[in-house]
Every structure is written in C-alpha cells, then in structure tokens.
C-alpha cells in the first residue's frame, strides 16, 4: 500500500485540514510556503495523467473548500500537481499541492534555457 493510502487509512498520522467520503487534505510534512496542504483522492490513482474526469470534478470543489478553510480565497493561492519523473513526483498517489499564505515566487523550473525549444 502506498504512503498516501496509509494516510487515508489512518495507519500513518497526518495533520488533517479537511475530509469527506472521497477526498482528504492534510498539511505537507515539509512545507514550502506558509500554507502548504496536500489534497488527495481517497481512491488510489497514480497521477494526474491517470485520473478519471469524474474524480477531478469533486477534486476541484474540494480544493476550493480547502482554500476557503485556510482563508486564501481572496489573497490567492497556487495549485500544483507533479507528474512522473520530469515533473518531480515523489509520491505515486495523485496529490495537489495547495500553496499560499504569502506572495509566492515564480521562477525558472529548469536549468536548461526556457527558449531552447522554440
């Protein structure tokens, strides 16, 4: 069973922010912003690339609920999902990073020149 499935099953503790029958949100153990929450479907899906659109419908509403719970709906926030090797995905259970609580940086994501493929 994967790490986040164990968190869903409460076999591994997490600091839960929001939960319903289908989704769970908890604080990232290694936060990269003042607010850094992970929102996941309870059903195991490897990544965004495999997710069913019906799950994404509920996921979208759930992420908005999390943002509101953290009072970020007016100040703004960022939603990121890493996919596979180049995306930098470490945990192979679909998760959305919900980041905010301060003005976030937006920098080059790679050492290779951004225009080299144009």
Q: What is the contact surface with Zn ion in residues (CB under 5 A)?
A: 2, 4-5, 44, 93
Nearest in space to 45 (alpha carbons), one of 36, 35, 34, 53: 53
Closer residue to ligand AMP (CB): 25 or 72: 25
The yes or no reply on residue 85 touching ligand AMP (CB under 6 A) is no
Instruction: Choose among ligand AMP, Zn ion, none what residue 55 binds, the Cβ cut-off being 5 to 8 Å by kind.
Output: none
Is 44 an annotated catalytic residue?
A: no
The 3-state DSSP class for residue 80 equals strand
The 3-state DSSP class for residue 90 equals coil
> Of 16-24, 25-33, 69-77, 110-118, which part binds ligand AMP (CB under 6 A)?
25-33
Question: What would the two tokens of residue 37 be?
Answer: 């929450």
Q: For tokens 């919900």, name the residue.
A: 98
C-alpha span between 115 and 20 (Å, rounded): 43
DSSP H or E segment with residue 71: none
The yes or no reply on residue 100 touching ligand AMP (CB under 6 A) is no
| Active-site residue identified among 95, 97, 108, 113 | 95
Applying CB under 6 A, among 18, 46, 91, 101 the residue interacting with ligand AMP is 91
Task: Provide the 8-state DSSP code for 61.
Answer: H
Catalytically active residues, by annotation: 95
Which residues form the interface with ligand AMP (CB under 6 A)?
A: 3, 12, 14, 28-30, 38, 82, 88-91
């Amino acid at each position: 069973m994967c790490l986040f499935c164990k968190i869903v099953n409460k076999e591994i503790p997490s600091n839960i922010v929001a939960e319903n029958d289908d989704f769970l949100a908890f604080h990232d153990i290694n936060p990269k912003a003042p607010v850094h929450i992970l929102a996941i479907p309870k059903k195991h899906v490897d990544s965004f690339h495999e997710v069913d659109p019906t799950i994404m419908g509920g996921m979208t509403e759930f992420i908005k609920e999390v943002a509101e719970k953290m009072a970020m709906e007016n100040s703004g926030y960022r939603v990121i999902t890493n996919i596979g090797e180049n995306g930098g995905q470490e945990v192979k259970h679909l998760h959305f990073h919900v980041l905010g609580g301060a003005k976030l940086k937006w920098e080059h994501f790679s050492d290779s020149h951004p225009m080299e493929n144009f």
